C-alpha cells in the first residue's frame, strides 16, 4: 500500500470521499498519516541491519548514517562467525561504543541490528500489511480531532453538535489505535534472545547464601 492508497482509506473512514467537497486537503491528511506512521514506528520499528566500519585503535563508531534510528537491538563483532558473536555496547548521542576488551586493530566491519522509522510514500511502504488498518485508524482519529477543534464555535451544516460528534469519534479511533500499538509493541513482544554470553563469576567471587 502506498501513500495515495492509505489516504483513500482514511477518507473512506472519515466519509470524505466526494472530491468536490473534501473537508480535508491531501496535505492535511498526509500530515495525519505521517503522525500515525511515526507513532507506529516508535512502538513497532522497522527491523533492519546495517554494517558500520570501525576506526583502527578506537571502540567508537558513528551512527549518523543510520537514518531514522529508533533503537539498537544488537551489535555483532567480529562479523562472519558462526554462531554470530554479539557484544555489549553503549550508545551516547551519535556514538556507539563497543564494550570489548581489545580495540579494533584495523578498519573492521561491525553489524548493527536496529529498529528505524517506517517509510510510506508515493511508491513504497515498509508497513506490514496487518498493521495498515491500524495506521488508518490513527490517521483518521487525528484528522477528526483536528476538524473538531476547528469547528468549535462555528456554524456547521450538520448542526451545533457536529464538532462534538467528530471529537467523540476521533477519540474512539485513537483509543483503538493506541490499544493496537500496545498489543504489537516491541516492548511487549516475547523474543528468545541470547546476544552474548553472560558474565560468569569466578569461584572466588561467588557467594554462599546457604545456612
Among positive and negative, which fits the CA dihedral 129, 130, 131, 134?
A: positive
Closest by alpha carbon to 115, among 63, 162, 73, 177?
73
Strands (E), 5-77: 46-53, 60-62, 69-76
Q: Helices in 62-131 by DSSP H: which ranges?
A: none
Would you say 111 and 51 are in contact if contact means Cβ atoms under 8 Å apart?
yes
Q: What is the pLDDT of residue 147?
A: 84
Residue 156 to residue 160: CA distance in whole angstroms: 6
Closest by alpha carbon to 23, among 11, 33, 13?
11
Q: What is the pLDDT of residue 211?
A: 36
Residue 142 to residue 148: CA distance in whole angstroms: 10
Q: Which three cell numbers stand for residue 69?
A: 534510528
Residue 43 to residue 171: CA distance in whole angstroms: 19
Q: Domain locations in the chain?
A: 3-43+119-184, 47-116
Residue 125 to residue 118: CA distance in whole angstroms: 7
Q: What is the pLDDT of residue 201?
A: 42
Q: What is the pLDDT of residue 160?
A: 53
User: pTM for this one?
Assistant: 0.82
pLDDT in tens, the chain (211 residues): 999 999 999 999 999 999 888 999 999 999 999 999 999 999 999 999 999 999 999 999 999 999 999 999 999 999 999 999 999 999 999 999 999 999 999 999 999 999 999 999 999 999 999 999 999 999 999 999 998 877 665 444 454 556 688 899 999 999 999 999 999 997 665 554 445 444 444 454 433 433 3
Q: What is the pLDDT of residue 197?
A: 46
Vertex 110 angle, CA 84 and 79, to 5°: 30
Task: Report CA 184 to chain centroid distance, whole Å.
Answer: 11
- String of b and e for 146-166 (b: at least 16 CB within 10 Å)? bbbeebeeeeeeeeeebbeeb
Q: What is the pLDDT of residue 174?
A: 97
Amino acid at each position: 500500500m502506498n501513500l495515495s492508497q492509505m489516504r483513500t482509506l482514511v477518507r473512506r473512514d472519515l466519509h470524505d470521499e466526494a472530491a468536490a467537497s473534501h473537508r480535508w486537503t491531501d496535505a492535511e491528511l498526509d500530515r495525519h498519516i505521517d503522525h500515525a506512521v511515526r507513532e507506529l514506528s516508535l512502538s513497532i520499528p522497522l527491523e533492519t541491519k546495517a554494517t558500520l566500519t570501525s576506526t583502527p585503535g578506537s571502540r567508537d563508531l558513528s551512527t549518523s548514517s543510520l537514518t531514522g534510528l529508533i533503537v539498537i537491538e544488537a551489535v555483532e563483532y567480529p562479523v562472519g562467525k558462526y554462531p554470530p558473536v554479539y557484544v555489549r555496547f553503549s550508545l551516547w548521542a551519535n556514538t556507539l561504543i563497543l564494550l570489548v576488551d581489545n580495540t579494533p586493530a584495523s578498519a573492521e566491519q561491525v553489524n548493527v541490528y536496529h529498529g528505524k522509522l517506517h517509510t510510506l510514500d508515493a511508491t513504497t511502504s515498509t508497513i506490514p500489511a496487518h498493521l495498515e488498518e491500524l495506521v488508518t485508524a490513527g490517521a483518521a482519529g487525528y484528522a477528526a480531532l483536528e476538524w473538531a477543534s476547528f469547528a468549535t464555535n462555528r456554524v456547521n451544516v450538520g448542526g451545533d453538535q457536529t464538532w462534538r460528534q467528530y471529537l467523540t469519534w476521533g477519540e474512539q479511533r485513537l483509543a483503538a489505535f493506541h490499544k493496537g500499538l500496545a498489543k504489537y509493541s516491541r516492548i511487549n513482544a516475547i523474543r528468545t534472545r541470547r546476544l552474548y554470553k553472560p558474565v560468569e563469576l569466578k569461584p572466588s567471587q561467588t557467594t554462599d547464601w546457604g545456612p
